Amino acid sequence: MTDLVELVDLSQPLVSWHLRTLRAAGLVETRRVGREVICSLRHDVFERFERRQDELFTPAPGTAAIS
């Protein structure tokens, strides 16, 4: 997590809070390697979210888009 804290320039507690929230939502998975915790994005979940978002926000054929 040290690398991520440096990369995003946020405090360690704030990064931990965001990761915990993303993990609870199923968007991030973690695994322990010794004393380190490795975090990975769940690309399959992001892809499902993106497809669902497209379904919700793409106008149905024959309807006008709201601008």
* Domain assignments of the chain as residue spans, ordered by start: 2-57
Residue 64: per-residue pLDDT: 67
Which amino acid is present at 19?
Answer: L
Q: What pLDDT is recorded for position 66?
A: 64
Given a cut of 70, whether residue 65 has pLDDT beyond it is no
**Planar angle of CA 8, 13, 31, nearest 5 degrees:** 80
Percent of the chain with pLDDT over 70: 93
User: What is residue 13's predicted lDDT score, i.e. its pLDDT?
Assistant: 95
The mean pLDDT of the chain is 89
What is the Cα–Cα distance from 30 to 41, expressed in whole angstroms?
9
Give the CATH number of domain 2-57: 1.10.10.10
pLDDT at 7 over 70: yes
* Cut 0.85: pTM above it: no
Which pairs from 33-36 meet CB under 8 Å and 24+ separation? 36/1
